[in-house]
């Protein structure tokens, strides 16, 4: 699965968040080619955040590893070719610390955890599958059910940590309810439109792990981004977010 516009926009939106720019440890679940991890490495260059990218599919993992190695941030990018379930289990048991996957040396529980989790997860459910098994693994949620994803996110996040996820707008409520059932509170949603003539097709969701506010009435920040103007040019909002990443903007 190669780079697509909605993933680029998602990465730029996440990268614009101050709390991401100041992060210490970030994990990217289902990194694919490594796009999101590379965008986060660029924006956190001054903070020197450590970014761990998880990818279960071996060919995609190899491509991501190659992309990391030729980037200027290779010393802060780490690729793990494994399932998120195995990765989380090993983090909880402390096995990955000895391999240098976390740069926090404090002797407390948070040295095994992350302050930011980002994911562009498989989201097709009940759709026609491709004859390519690797593409199915990347695109269909049967390979990584959202309930399993959310459970692992909660295990990996520090208290008050943030989870950013890209989902189809029609399934955003499903993700919200799953997240709330696992101690994650929705704090922001951005609806993404191809143009003003069509309904939104993607949602960017920002959840906080904060059991003290869970199920309480909080104000959710809601915004929208339109990708194309009526004349088929990129909108000012799109250009502003992606000008540091797209060479032609």
Mean pLDDT on 106-134:
65
pLDDT score, position 93 = 65
The closest of 18, 14, 19 to 39, measured between CA atoms, is 14
Q: How far is CA 104 from the centre of its chain?
A: 21
Beta pairing, strands 202-209 & 157-168: antiparallel
Sign of the C-alpha dihedral computed for residues 6, 34, 104 and 209 taken in this order: positive
Mean pLDDT of the chain: 86
Residue 143: pLDDT band with limits 50, 70, 90: low
Domains of the chain, start order? 5-242 (3.40.50.150)
Mean pLDDT on 65-78:
96
Candidate from 8-12, 109-113, 228-232 with smallest mean pLDDT: 109-113
pLDDT score, position 94 = 59
User: Position of tokens 């919200």?
Assistant: 176
Tens digits of residue pLDDT in 195-225: 999 999 999 999 999 856 555 678 899 999 9
Candidate from 43-47, 129-133, 187-191, 242-246 with smallest mean pLDDT: 129-133
Residue 120: pLDDT band with limits 50, 70, 90: very high
- CA distance between the termini of the chain: 24
pLDDT score, position 123 = 66
pLDDT score, position 137 = 45
Q: What percent of the chain has pLDDT over 70?
A: 81
Residue 1: pLDDT band with limits 50, 70, 90: low
Residue 156 · residue 117 · CB < 8 Å = yes
79 token code pair = 């690729």
User: Position of tokens 């991401």?
Assistant: 20
pLDDT score, position 46 = 85
Residue 85 · residue 152 · CB < 8 Å = yes
């Amino acid at each position: 699965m190669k780079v697509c516009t909605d993933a680029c926009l998602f990465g730029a939106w996440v990268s614009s968040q101050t709390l991401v720019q100041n992060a210490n440890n970030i994990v990217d679940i289902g990194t694919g080619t490594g796009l999101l991890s590379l965008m986060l490495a660029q924006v956190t260059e001054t903070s020197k955040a450590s970014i761990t990218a998880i990818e279960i599919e071996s060919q995609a993992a190899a491509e991501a590893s190659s992309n990391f190695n030729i980037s200027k941030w290779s010393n802060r990018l780490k690729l793990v070719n494994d399932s998120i379930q195995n990765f989380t289990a090993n983090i909880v048991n402390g096995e990955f610390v000895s391999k240098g996957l976390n740069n926090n040396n404090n002797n407390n529980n948070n040295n095994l955890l992350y302050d930011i989790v980002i994911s562009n997860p498989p989201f097709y459910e009940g759709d026609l599958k491709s004859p390519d098994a690797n593409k199915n693994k990347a695109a269909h949620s049967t390979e990584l059910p959202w309930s399993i994803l959310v459970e692992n996110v909660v295990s990996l996040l520090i208290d008050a940590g943030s989870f950013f996820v890209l989902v189809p707008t029609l399934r955003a409520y499903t993700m919200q309810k799953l997240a709330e059932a696992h101690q994650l509170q929705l704090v922001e949603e951005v609806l993404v439109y191809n143009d003003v003539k069509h309904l939104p097709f993607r949602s960017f969701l920002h959840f906080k792990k904060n059991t003290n506010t869970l199920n309480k009435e909080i104000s959710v920040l809601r915004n929208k981004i339109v990708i194309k103007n009526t004349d088929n040019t990129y909108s000012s909002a799109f250009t502003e977010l992606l000008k540091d990443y797209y060479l032609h903007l």
